[in-house]
Amino acid sequence: MKKFANLDDIQNTHTFKDLLRWQRERRNNKKDLTQQIQQSPAKEPERLRENRSDSSITWIGHSTFLLQIGGLNILTDPVWAAKMGMQKRLTAPGLSINQLPEIDLVLISHGHYDHLDFNSIKQLKGKISFYVPAGLKALFRKKGYQTVTETNWWEEFVDRGIKVTFVPAQHWTRRSAFDMNTSHWGGWVIEDMKTGESIYFAGDSGYFRGFREIGERLKPDTVLMPIGAYEPEWFMKVSHINPEDAVRAFLETGAKNFIPMHYGAYRLADDTGPEALERLEKEWEKQGLEEERLKVLSLGETFWKKPVT
């Protein structure tokens, strides 16, 4: 069975001894979980359902976004699960599945359960085309989905005027004890072929040299970048980027706007959502970047993009 790998053969390998060390550290590193990411007071589900002309980005939570671009409704990593493993979700999704418009495309970054939840997918409405990493098509077919395109890094597809390109990330994946890295992982760049507007959804990744190449080749306007699940960094850094390196990666892409994600929904590591945001904002200020380029969305909040002129 084919196994997938990161650039430069960077591997996420940890021993049982490492896991025990992490658990000891967690017991001695109590965190305040009473402070969480807030829901937006200005959600616009009706406008989103009716919209087929304006470009928008709505953060549902974690790595789930509703993207409206080129007249299509696109979902990234649709996960509305109330639990992840034995732990309850910390924050409710910004919009319920019933509040969504009909979906045209679903883009999957990789097979981890916090990014690929079939219980959520089966509740979506619309004639959906699924774009998935290499190695996942058979699982989607087994679940009953037929309109599935499987892709490797740098492959691109045009669907109703939208070009989607699967790009590298530094991560790993598994859904059972027997399928370690038998499917790929990555991010997606979504481009409106008419206007040239583009969004880079970075998926789940540690910091790696690929961010610069993605920026040079595809020149995204807006980056949806993970900032959470980085602590303890000695354990997580290969697969989860920290806020400071997220800013560094964003700058290397050359994009205009940064929208943070992958924080505040599930306790996948020892950092909290507010901690991740605080570190991000401090680094943004330290780098002297314009405030308006950092678009921190509340849950369910929509960033309405102005037309490209």
Can you tell me which residue has the tokens 């969004």?
199
Model-level pTM?
A: 0.96
Task: Give the model's pLDDT for residue 307.
Answer: 58
pLDDT tens for 51-104 read: 999 999 999 999 999 999 999 999 999 999 999 988 899 999 999 999 999 999
User: What φ, ψ does residue 14 adopt, rounded to 5°?
Assistant: -135, 145
161-178 b/e (C-beta count within 10 Å ≥ 16 → b): ebbbbbbbbbbbbebeee
E strands, 129-221, are 129-133, 148-151, 156-159, 162-167, 187-192, 198-201
Domains, the chain, with CATH or none: 46-305 (3.60.15.10)
Within a 13 Å sphere around the CA of 144, how many CA atoms are in the beta-carbon half? 4
Burial (CB count <10 Å: 0-12, 13-18, 19+), residue 95? buried
**Structure tokens given for 211:** 């961010």
Mean pLDDT over each residue of the chain, to the nearest integer: 95
Write out pLDDT tens, residues 104-132. 999 999 999 999 999 999 999 999 999 99
Q: Which residue has the tokens 């354990």?
A: 235
Query: Under a CB-based contact definition with an 8 Å cutoff, are residues 106 and 201 in contact?
Result: no
Give pLDDT tens digits for 283-307. Answer: 999 999 999 999 999 999 999 987 5
Query: What is the per-residue pLDDT for 88?
Result: 95
Name the 3-class secondary structure at 173.
Answer: coil
Mean pLDDT to the nearest integer, 180-207: 97
Bridging pattern class, strands 222-226 and 198-201: parallel
pLDDT at position 61 is 98
Neighbouring residues of 286: CB distance < 8 A, sequence distance ≥ 6: none
What is the biggest distance separating any 2 CA atoms in the chain, rounded to whole angstroms?
56
Q: What is the pLDDT of residues 12-58, one digit of tens each?
A: 888 889 888 988 888 888 888 888 999 999 999 999 999 999 999 99
Q: What percent of the chain has pLDDT over 90?
A: 89
- What amino acid occupies position 170? Q
Predicted confidence at residue 308, as pLDDT, reads 47
User: Can you say whether residue 154 is alpha, beta or left, with left for phi > 0 and alpha for psi between -120 and 50 degrees?
Assistant: left
Contact between 135 and 184 (Cβ < 8 Å): yes
pLDDT in the model for residue 26: 84
From residue 15, how far is each of 3, 22, 270 by CA, in Å?
20, 11, 18
Cis peptide before 307 (omega within 30 of 0): no
d(CA 49, CA 98): 10
Pairing mode of beta strands 129-133, 148-151:
parallel
